[in-house]
Structure 1
Amino acid sequence: MELKGKVAYITGGSKGIGYGVAQRLLEAGMKVAVSGRNLDSVTKAARKLGTEENVLALESDVTKLEDENNAISQIVAKWGSVDVVLANAGVGHFAPVDQLSDDHWHQMMDTNLTGVFHTLKASVESLKKSKGYYITLASLAGTNFFANGAGYNASKFGVVGFTQAAMLDLREYDIKVSTIMPGSVATHFNDNEPSEKDAWKIQPEDIGDLVLDLLRMNPRTLPSKIEVRPTRPDKK
Structure 2
Amino acid sequence: MKQTLTDKVAYITGGSKGIGFGVARILLDNGMKVAISSRSLEAAQKAAASLSADPSKILALESDVSTPGAEARAIKAVTDHFGRLDLLVANAGVGHFAPIETLTDEEWKSTIDTNLTGVFNSVKAAIAPLKETKGYIITIASLAGTNFFANGAAYNASKFGLVGFSQAIMLDLRQYGIKVTTIMPGSVATYFNGHVPSDADAWKIQPEDIGQLVLDLMQINPRTLPSKVEVRPTMPK
TM-score bin, normalised by smaller chain = over 0.9
| Aligned partner (choices 43, 46, 49) of residue 47 of structure 1 | 49
What is the distance in 1 between the residues matched to 2:82 and 2:193? 34
The structure 2 residue matched to 1:110, chosen from 106, 110, 113, is: 113
Which of 185, 200, 206 does residue 182 from structure 1 map onto?
A: 185
What is the CA–CA distance in structure 2 between the aligned matches of 1:225 and 1:2, rounded to whole Å? 23
Any unmatched runs of 5+ in structure 1? none
Residue deviations 1:60-80 (CA, integer Å, cap 9, x gap):
010123110111111111111
User: Aligned AA for 1:157?
Assistant: F
Which residue of the partner structure matches residue 22 of structure 2? Answer: 20
* Map of 1:145 onto structure 2: 148
Amino acid at match of 2:174: R
2:217 is matched with which residue: 214, 217, 223?
214
Q: Distance in 1 between matches of 2:168 and 2:206?
A: 29
List structure 1 segments (4+ residues) > 3 angstroms apart after TM superposition.
none
How far did 1:32 drift? Answer: 0.1
1:37 Cα deviation after fit: 0.5
The code of the aligned residue for 1:170 comes to L
Rounded to whole Å, the distance in 1 between the matches of 2:146 and 2:87 is 25
1:81 maps to 84
Displacement after TM superposition at 1:210 (Å): 0.2
Aligned residue number for residue 176 of structure 2: 173
Instruction: Measure the CA separation in 1 of the matches of 2:80 and 2:119.
Output: 22
Structure-1-length-normalised TM-score: 0.98
1:100 matched to 2:97: no
CA distance in 2, matches of 1:219, 1:138: 22
Instruction: Indicate conservation of the 8 Å contact 1:65/1:122, yes or no.
Output: no
Q: Distance in 1 between matches of 2:80 and 2:196?
A: 36
Taking the aligned partners of 2:123 and 2:84, their CA distance within structure 1 comes to 15
Secondary structure of the structure 2 residue equivalent to 1:65: coil
1:158-204 CA distance string (max 9 Å, x none): 00000000000000000000000000000001111100000000000
Which AA in structure 2 matches 1:72?
Answer: I
User: TM-score, normalising length from structure 2?
Assistant: 0.98
Quote how far apart the aligned CAs of 1:3 are.
0.2
